[in-house]
Chain A
Amino acid sequence: MGVYVGESAIGENVGIDGSEDFDSFVTRRGPDLRRVLVAHYGLDVGVEAAADALAYAWERWERVSTMENPTGYLVRVGQSAARRYRRRPVVLPDRVPEIESTFDPRLPRALERLSPRQRSAVVLICVHDWTYPAASTALGVSESTLRNHVRRGLESLRRELGESSE
């Protein structure tokens, strides 16, 4: 099955042809890897786990570069790595003055309080605007499970933030 992570079309093989060098892979896929892991584990652990996964890929580049879906594989490597970071709080960034934004300042805390599965689903689908096929592949769940996570996550957020109609 053609699998992918990120913005590429479903079914398209975006694995590497073996001649891509590591640096290009990091440039092309590193941000997606970080987005998935940050969605699940928060900023600090997510970034560290992504770095661990990329280091793992570097050390095994010959093998990883021939995989059909190296990014998906590295998401799972990152998840393994993240298990070592016990009890690190899930922290998501607050509003900063440099970025014009209108979201409720309580939103990051509300996202942190979601379960990891709901948070990952909501962040990838609703924040980063990934498609359901892309996100379900990245997270290793079926699309119907993913939709459930998104629905429940949004319900929790609405309850906590009291959605307004403005």
Chain B
Amino acid sequence: MKIEEQLRDYRATLDAATDEAAVSHADRIAPPVRIRPTRTFLVAAVAVAATVAVAFAAVGVSHRHSTPPAGTGRPTTPTTSTPPITSGTRTVVVPSVLGMNASEARQVVETLGFRAVERFVPDRSLACTAPRGFVNAQDPPPGTRVAKASTVTLTVCIPWGGGRWSDPQLTITPTSLGAVRVGMTKTQAQTAAGFSFDGQGDGFVYPRALPAGYPHDYVGLGAPHDTVICVGAGKNGATTNGPQRISTTEGFQLGDTVDHLLAVYGSRARFVAAPASGMTTNAGYVVAEADGTLVFVVDKAHQRVVEIAGGAAGIGPNSCTG
């Protein structure tokens, strides 16, 4: 069959998939409460605040966990989707769910009409002081008065993410991403990751077949000459919907804001301007750790980190392979 005929024949398949992707993309965008229209207008969004009719009261929820709650750890990133309190807005006091089991905490928060967002920190990180599976910190803090149906972010401690790339959480360091380490051969990395690196682009290899619902867009490695020199993970879209599964040892997560990056790393984060040419138009930060460097690429519009690379050369057309 001639190539031109095949291409014409491909049209129905391509159009159907494009239409389906467009619908599915609109459905995936959860509509947080916002004060100005954004891309979420494409979704038949029902404003959560308008539909929840729950009686609110100032509460102090007793801790059901027998161990006294741990300290609040490092400050968490304030959420950006809390509506402003204006005259006439119903306000609610945020309960304390510190030290509660994460799923119970979520239930409490949602029963009171808030939107719960969980973020995870590995239990070996300096940010994590609660037991695994329990709420280590919350934002807004307990007792804060906020507009009805605001978002409450629960920081939950989870096991150290040193495993396969299908694990619930991966920790990235200057020399590793989960169980994949800089210096491994590509074959060893595939075994450690549990995936075949069958995708390739920009000198970067990655598994195409990530599990369904994987919240980031890519994890991969730079492996010229078949040796891993760099590992990286990225989350485009710069939103923090859903759990974040890539974090550094200090609890900084993919998708977090630049403000939070600077709060965690302080003067160790060296700003690097966007390169004059190449694939990226983003600037970022480089942090020198004892065992190497971490590169954080920032989405300029949202001021969030959309890529973290360990062992990277710096911000460039390809921050992983230089």
Contacts and interface: CB of A to CB of B under 8 A. Distances in A.
A104 B13 CA distance: 12
Contact of A102 (B9, B217, B281): B9
A154 B18 contact: no
Nearest to B302: A84
B280 interface: yes
A91 B76 CA distance: 36
B57 interface: no
Interface string B11-25: 111111111011001
B290 interface: no
Contact of B206 (A44, A87, A123, A129): A87
Given A43-B21, A85-B236, A158 B3 contact: yes
Contacts of A63: none
Contacts of A47: 18, 21-22, 25
Interface stretch (B160-168, B197-205, B249-257): B197-205
Interface string B168-204: 0000000000000000000000000000000101101
Interface residues of A, number: 53
Interface string B31-68: 00000111101100000000000000000000000000
Contacts of B123: none
A103 B41 contact: no
Interface in B236-261: 236-238
A51 B25 contact: yes
Contact of B281 (A83, A93, A104): A83
Contacts of A128: 11
Contacts, number: 138
Contact of A43 (B11, B18, B42): B18
A37 to B, nearest CB: 10
A99 B22 CA distance: 18
Contact of B3 (A34, A43, A163, A166): A163
24 contacts: A44-B21, A46-B18, A47-B21, A51-B22, A55-B39, A58-B37, A59-B36, A84-B236, A85-B217, A86-B202, A86-B234, A86-B279, A88-B218, A88-B236, A89-B201, A89-B208, A94-B13, A99-B12, A103-B10, A103-B13, A123-B7, A127-B7, A127-B8, A161-B3
Interface of A: 30-31, 34-35, 38, 43-44, 46-48, 50-52, 54-55, 58-59, 83-96, 98-99, 101-104, 107-108, 122-123, 126-129, 154, 157-158, 161, 163-166
